[in-house]
Chain A
Amino acid sequence: MSTATQIPANQHVPTQRLPAMVEWIADLGAVVMDGIIGLGNISTFSLRTFGWLFARLPRRETLIPAFYQIGVLSLPVVALTGTFIGMVLVEQSYVQFRNLHMEAKLGAVINMSLVRELGPVLAATMLAGRVGSAMAAELGTMRVTEQIDALTTMGANPIHYLVVPRFLGCLLLIPALTIMADFMGVVGALFYAVSLLGIDFHHYVENSQHFVGYFDMFAGVFKSLFFGAAIALIACYRGFHCDPGAEGVGRAATAAFVYSFVMILLLDLLLGIALNGLYFSLWPEAPKLF
């Protein structure tokens, strides 16, 4: 009897699992398809932006407000975060270096981290948070209230009129923001190290000069160009493809920041690998810290 009851039970399990599995595969397929379609859409959107960028420059009346919003209004927050991150880096690293009696080398490590990594990434993160979300929300509201359709009906191309100025603003001004973050970080770190922790000024600066070169500055600024382009394209794309209603606009603003941040980190890794490869092929005898 027990055998007889077990057999149907064993047979029953796969027949129930099969539809669930099919459903799971279908869901997975839908997610993959959505991902591929989204990737295709943002690629087309980016290509159209590049096409308009080279076809005709936007008017001054659209460029100046975008540049002011993206560059000028972002400067204070970028400078402030740069200063603090420089000081925090010194504070966190100081004890370890002091235990090795190498406090004077601190400047080299801090400034290298700032110029190559933290400056560009911080400036880009601030830009994604402050400007990227705002751009997605603004363009999303324009989409929801048919203002983008209105532009089209009046014979103005929305990509040329709305996206290109924002793209140019992010692309051309993020290097300046990065340099500002670098500078304020270096100054903040120097102030904290010399004034508050009593590290010798001369040795701190000499080590920094010896270890951090023009290529490091270039690498940070070069990376920032890619970050700026990614932030503008992702934010504008999310705004243009915003779902209806206030919830849709909110989701577009959040998604713009999240996707931009992930893209910044991914690009940072890939460009970091590529630039390190280039550096060591150009200068095999790089200066060594120890």
Chain B
Amino acid sequence: MVTVSRDNPDPERPLVQLDQVGVDFGRQRVLRDVNLAIPQGQTLAVIGESGCGKTVLLKTIIGLLRPAHGAVHFDGQDLAALGERELTRQRTRFGFLFQQAALFDSMTIAQNVSFPLRQHTHKTAEEIRQMTMARLAEVGLPENILHKKPAELSGGMRKRVGLARALALEPEIILYDEPTTGLDPIMSDVINELILSTRRQHPVTSVVVTHDMRTAQKVADRVVMLYPLARLQPDEPQVLYDGPPDGIERAADSRVSQFVRGEAGERLMEMRQQNGR
């Protein structure tokens, strides 16, 4: 099978493709008929309010969640059709930065960052140490945190360690789950810059899930906006906007422009109507 790798780029063929993807949690449907093609090298921002299924979309792309309907193709392969061993191999081509970084509490920072290297490579301890320090330097963290535990670091530092860990195996695609949530504006901008510099240093495809419009507009080539199914009509598409970041403010759908501008008017009226019932 011909695969889209960094050595064999094919801008026409998407690295990730979602076909009519639907995801359910018990009886509740979270994603419905989502179609999305992400070409290699693109930075896609997925925006939308809390509970619209952004994180679910991200976890479906890496195969942490299985779609109830439709299929997710990564590099031309249907993830649901892969066996556990092959799925594991494909996952090493991904990097995932979790919302709260998801660092292993029981391990030091050095052990956290080197975890993927120890799992999947046969490098010597010294090589792993060098690579760990290089990754930490890339995200602007000093050597003296190597032997600290995650609980001893601030939220911003934990996020940067999480990014260093996601970069450890030099992935082809990085998935960022709300990378700036819970950070101060300066640290948010530091993370945004790191996303951009990562892209400059490595020819990587990125999917950034966020509800921070500054992040979306700064880092993305393309923006997709999802809307919660509970407030959509059955025949309405869940993707309300799919286009360049600079066109989103002029989107025809008022729900998109309201989200971009952070206007709560219609939502407040909805909430008041619900409370009045």
A154 to B107, CA, bound (A): 15
Known: A149-B59, A150-B96. A155 touches B102 (CB 8 A): no
Bitwise, A137-154 to B at CB < 8 A (1) or not (0) is 000011001110110111
B70 lies within 8 A of chain A by Cβ:
no
Contacts of B116 in A (CB 8 A): 154-155
A141 to B120, CA, bound (A): 25
Bitwise, B172-215 to A at CB < 8 A (1) or not (0) is 00000000000000000000000000000000000000000000
- Please report which residues of chain A, range 131-173, place their CB below 8 angstroms from some CB of chain B when the two chains form the complex: 141-142, 145-147, 149-150, 152-157
CB distance from A245 to the nearest CB of B (A): 14
**Contacts between chains A and B (CB distance < 8 A), count:** 50
Q: How large is the interface on B (under 10, 10 to 19, 20 to 34, 35 or more residues)?
A: 20 to 34
Say whether A155 contacts B96, CB under 8 Å. Answer: no
User: Chain B: which residue is nearest A48 at the CB level?
Assistant: B84
B94 lies within 8 A of chain A by Cβ:
yes
Q: How large is the interface on A (under 10, 10 to 19, 20 to 34, 35 or more residues)?
A: 10 to 19
The segment out of B35-43, B85-93, B220-228 that lies at the interface is B85-93
Known: A153-B62, A155-B119, A156-B119. A147 touches B91 (CB 8 A): no
Say whether A155 contacts B92, CB under 8 Å. Answer: yes
- Please report which residues of chain A, range 174-221, place their CB below 8 angstroms from some CB of chain B when the two chains form the complex: none
Say whether A145 contacts B100, CB under 8 Å. Answer: yes
A150 to B102, CA, bound (A): 6
Report whether over half of chain A's contact residues are helix, strand or loop; otherwise say mixed.
helix
Say whether B102 contacts A154, CB under 8 Å. Answer: no
Say whether B105 contacts A147, CB under 8 Å. Answer: yes
Contacts of A65 in B (CB 8 A): 106
A156 to B120, CA, bound (A): 9
Contacts of A154 in B (CB 8 A): 91-92, 96, 115-116, 119, 165
- Please report which residues of chain B, range 88-135, place their CB below 8 angstroms from some CB of chain A when the two chains form the complex: 88-89, 91-92, 94, 96, 98-100, 102-106, 115-116, 119-120
User: Chain B: which residue is nearest A61 at the CB level?
Assistant: B118
A65 to B107, CA, bound (A): 12
B137 lies within 8 A of chain A by Cβ:
no
User: Chain B: which residue is nearest A147 at the CB level?
Assistant: B102
Bitwise, A60-86 to B at CB < 8 A (1) or not (0) is 000001000000000000000000000
Contacts of B115 in A (CB 8 A): 154, 156
A-B contact pairs, 20 of them (CB 8 A): A65-B106, A141-B105, A142-B105, A145-B102, A146-B99, A146-B102, A147-B102, A149-B64, A149-B98, A150-B104, A152-B91, A153-B64, A153-B91, A153-B94, A153-B96, A154-B92, A154-B115, A154-B119, A155-B89, A157-B84
Q: A residues within 8 Å of B by Cβ?
A: 65, 141-142, 145-147, 149-150, 152-157
Q: What 8 pairs across the A-B complex have the smallest Cβ distances? A: A150-B102, A153-B96, A146-B102, A155-B92, A155-B88, A154-B116, A155-B91, A146-B98
